[in-house]
Amino acid sequence: MKMRTLLILALSLLLPCGAWGQSSLKRQFQKVASIFKSPYDTNYVRPNPYKWMFKLNLNIHGSDLNVRGVENGEKQRIDTWAQHKRTVSISAAYKGIGASLSLNPGKWFGRYSDLEFNVNTYVNRIGLDATYTNVGTYTGNASFGDTNVDIQKGMMKQKTLNVNTYYVVNYKHYSYPASLSQSQRQIKSCGSWLIGGSYIKGSYNFDFENDLVEDIKIRLNEFSVGAGYGYNYVSPRHGWLIHISSVPQVVVISKNKQLDENGNVLSSHRFPNWVTFNRLAVTRNWGNNFINIAATLFTNSTGRTNKFWFLYSKWSVKFTYGFRLL
């Protein structure tokens, strides 16, 4: 974090502006830098005493989409799930700044065509997860009154941008990076209230290829805020760390809507809609080695079942082995 702080301050000094403006901007950058610096109580949280960290990761991702509704007095039901994505990645970091290389064997053999792009950053006060997905491998089934449809690959296409942020209230004693990036060590068990916010923008297009069933388009554009709790349990022996956290959020700004195949609005959905972000991680440290298993579950619930209800779930599991060097 020192390198990041120095970079921010250096940029503020190099900006081509007058002495007064330069001084004012420097103070603003110092305020921003102090957020990332985030001092902590070393009786609870400590930095790892190693400069280099290397990881080998196995990642598994998946998502499900469920729809319930009533149209012209007939019940509608759609249940789909995307093809699981498996990647192997290696990463290296020097003083908290690193890079990684991911390999997807399914892409090589033509078994997987979806696109997913992730950006993550974790510090003990604030953090961010951003994910963009372009998925066309959903399969499942649907029913519209007495008409049943088997959903094959390519009949449902999804494009979604999801940005999730958090703020740790008790950041001096509670460490998110200890479980999620292993850049810190949690020394004593501790919990904290968490404040979160999410932005979701997405499109879901159903082409049922059936003359008896009208195609459906769903558009999401919403912002949610909420609060939750996280806890890090430190085993007194053997170096185990167990992390669990949940941040439920309520949608405060929503422009979600359902369209027919001609683009006409069938229904719009406003308050109340819900978003939840859950994590579970187990870490074992011994010497300069560590293993980590981390799982996340994101859910987005929109609408009402007596009219039109939409539930999107995205989950991931990551297995990590890593070691550190001076």
Residue 148 sits in the same domain as residue 22: no
pLDDT for the residue numbered 266: 61
* Mean of all residue pLDDT scores within the chain: 84
pLDDT for the residue numbered 270: 56
User: What pairing do the DSSP bridges indicate for beta strands 156-168 and 190-206?
Assistant: antiparallel
Please choose, from the candidates 309, 311, 312, 306, the residue with its C-alpha nearest in 3D space to the C-alpha of residue 74.
Answer: 306
Domain that holds residue 22: 1-37
Residue 145 within any structural domain of the chain: yes
First to last CA, the chain: 17
pLDDT digit string (tens) for 169-215?
999 999 999 998 898 999 999 999 999 999 999 999 998 888 778 88
pLDDT for the residue numbered 21: 43
Q: Which residue has the tokens 């001096």?
A: 172
pLDDT digit string (tens) for 13-61?
444 444 344 455 445 544 554 555 668 899 999 988 888 999 999 999 9
The structural domain count of the chain equals 2
Residue 93 within any structural domain of the chain: no
Residue 146 sits in the same domain as residue 288: yes
Residue 121 sits in the same domain as residue 270: yes
Q: Which phi and psi angles does 179 have, rounded to 5°?
A: -100, -30
Residue with the bigger pLDDT between 88 and 104: it is 88
Residue 249's CATH number: 2.40.128
pLDDT for the residue numbered 268: 61
pLDDT band for position 302 (cuts 50, 70, 90): confident
pLDDT digit string (tens) for 233-251?
999 888 899 999 999 999 9
Burial grade of 60 (CB within 10 A; 0-12, 13-18, 19 or more): middle
Looking at the chain, the whole-number percentage of residues with pLDDT higher than 90 is 50
Poorest-confidence range of 2-11, 89-98, 161-170? 2-11
Residue 289 sits in the same domain as residue 212: yes
Give the integer Cα–Cα distance in Å for 313 and 298: 6
Residue 110 sits in the same domain as residue 246: yes
